[in-house]
Structure 1
Amino acid sequence: MPLIKNRYGKGRVRIMRIHRDGDKQDVSQLSIKAMLEGDFGRAYTDADNSTSTSTDTIKNIVNVVARENTALSTEEFCQVLAKRYLDLYPQARSVSITAHETKWARLAVDGELHPHAFLLDSNGKPTVEIHATRDGMTMSSGLDNFTFMKSTQSGWENYYTDKYSTIQPTNDRICATSMVASWTWSGKPASYPATNAKILDILLKEFATTYSPSVQNSLYRMGEKVLAAVPEISEISMACPNIHYIPMNLSAFGLDNNNDVFLPTDEPHGQIECTVGRG
């Protein structure tokens, strides 16, 4: 029986990097998954481990590269890490790195940002994904489960209906989602963190300041704006589960409900996804 495909590595390698610059310190907390592909099949088929390093060693390399590179952005750190694996293991054909960041925001004290005190920012996790071979590297950055909403200026009308349709059209509804988004780099920006922040700002501004006839249309326009403003990316993908807010029926209490009181629910939810790229 042929071994069709295999890869192996280490997942959920947790590290906290602290970069010290005088009194000011910066922190970067990551969960890393590093997976190798190459000449490792004999460990599966022939119980021959001679080409396979241990997954514990793969973890140790993450820690060493982190110690050597405390100041790098997550994107740059993952690039250095991928190259280290390829340099160490000639039997490796490719390496895939995935990083999820736990965000820490600098604490403000008396109106000034503190040099070494932080608050947990729990809205969304920044992500980086890299696939590196000996011929090149592809990389994307993004956000996982970033939640945002607006209480009006959203609708759903003039849609296709059939005998199973029950939802009523509206031009005034809450629009909320927990977005998973990623953008693929085609060039290196002056700063990955600053460009990632710019992309998020563009997405949120378009969402907040324009009427949404559908989540589909909003996502497309959000992607258009990002691509127009950030030449270093080739495409952006967004997946947005609709967090529903259902108007409560208060008629039993002699009360109307003029879009004032809702039941929040995220199950089941609509799932809207798209990728917007250059022509």
Structure 2
Amino acid sequence: MPLITNRYGKGRVRVMRVHREGERHDVSQLDIKVMLEGEFARTFTHADNSLTVSTDTIKNIVNVVARENTGLSPEDFCQVLAQKYLDTYPQVASVSVSSHETRWKRLSFDDKPHPHSFVLDGNGRPTVEVAVKRGGPISISSGIDNFAFMKSTQSGWENYVKDGYTTIPPTNDRICATSMVATWKWSGKPADYPTTNARILGTLLEVFATTYSWSVQDSLYRMGEAALAAVPEISEINMACPNMHFILMNLSAFGLDNNNQVFLPTDEPHGQIECTVAREYGAV
């Protein structure tokens, strides 16, 4: 029976590129699919793999090209990537490269763009919860659900417990990213709820973006302190932050360094950091 068509490749190749120009960083998070067509029919019909490129190799080339082209737009990057396969493997007749971008929008404070801190575009859902007891007080909480933010430097993880089960190395320069669920409890009515909610979120982001993070725990506590100081009408704030991990790719096998420029985005498993900061002990 004839083999009518065939192609193969690698999908869901996730890559985060960080383009560094001095203090300014630009980030590009892509989900890449590469499909090859060419002289591969005998792999299907005759168990002959002699001309077939491993799909793991296809993935490695994505990371190599990412390291060599950190500043290209997704359109230009995909063109360069496709040409790389044609230049490397004469048995490849055609290449299809598709990408989906996770867009990160640069944060600004006092109308000044921040060099290395971002929020996810089209991000988060505002929440409200009201509890009322007959004859009793009304409890009102506002918040934000799944609000993602990130900085590409000024974060570390050092001086933690190390034992026979520890494999993660210490670092003082890493991507720090999370998708936060936060709620704050109102003890008084503000002049305007939307404006005050925006001030709380802005305060949380400014502390995160503009101060060094010794850990997510360290940042969360200081963010909570600052929100309570900025808005006297709230009595407590609760934050739950799963880590969005970006794993530094080891490109030494290809003769390339990686100065925090190419990462593998992954969300499972993730660290889960939670805390509540209140004005008074026992107020929670």
Bin of the TM-score, shorter chain as denominator length:
0.5 to 0.7
Q: Which amino acid aligns with 2:192?
A: S
Q: State the alpha-carbon separation in 2 of the partners of residues 136 and 278 from structure 1.
A: 19
Measured against aligned partners, the alpha-carbon deviations of 1:231-275 in whole angstroms (never above 9, x if no partner) come to 100000000000000011111211111111100001110000000
Superposition CA RMSD, Å = 0.8
Which residue number corresponds to residue 212 of structure 1?
213
Moved over 6 A (4+): none
Measured against aligned partners, the alpha-carbon deviations of 1:103-139 in whole angstroms (never above 9, x if no partner) come to xxxxxxxxxxxxxxxxxx7300000011111112101
Which residue number corresponds to residue 131 of structure 2?
131
| Structure with more relative contact order (C-alpha pairs < 8 Å, separation 6 or more) | 2
Q: State the alpha-carbon separation in 2 of the partners of residues 255 and 168 from structure 1.
A: 20
Q: Which amino acid aligns with 1:197?
A: A
Measured against aligned partners, the alpha-carbon deviations of 1:141-173 in whole angstroms (never above 9, x if no partner) come to 000000000000000000112210000000000
Q: Which amino acid aligns with 2:137?
A: G
Gaps of 5+ in 1: 1-120
Offset of residue 188 of structure 1? 0.2
Gaps of 5+ in 2: 1-120
Which residue number corresponds to residue 29 of structure 2?
none
Q: State the alpha-carbon separation in 1 of the partners of residues 226 and 242 from structure 2.
A: 21
Aligned residue for 1:167, secondary structure, equals coil
Q: State the alpha-carbon separation in 2 of the partners of residues 204 and 122 from structure 1.
A: 16
Which residue number corresponds to residue 246 of structure 2?
245
Q: How does 1:183-202 map to 2 (within 5 A)?
A: 183-202=184-203
Measured against aligned partners, the alpha-carbon deviations of 1:163-220 in whole angstroms (never above 9, x if no partner) come to 1000000000000000000000000000000000000110000000000000001000
Which residue number corresponds to residue 224 of structure 2?
223
Aligned residue for 1:228, secondary structure, equals helix
Q: State the alpha-carbon separation in 1 of the partners of residues 258 and 158 from structure 2.
A: 20
TM-score by length of 1: 0.56
Q: State the alpha-carbon separation in 1 of the partners of residues 193 and 158 from structure 2.
A: 39
Q: State the alpha-carbon separation in 2 of the partners of residues 161 and 276 from structure 1.
A: 29
TM-score by length of 2: 0.55
Count matched residues. 159
Aligned residue for 1:200, secondary structure, equals helix
Q: Which amino acid aligns with 2:131?
A: H
Q: State the alpha-carbon separation in 1 of the partners of residues 173 and 193 from structure 2.
A: 37
Aligned residue for 1:139, secondary structure, equals strand
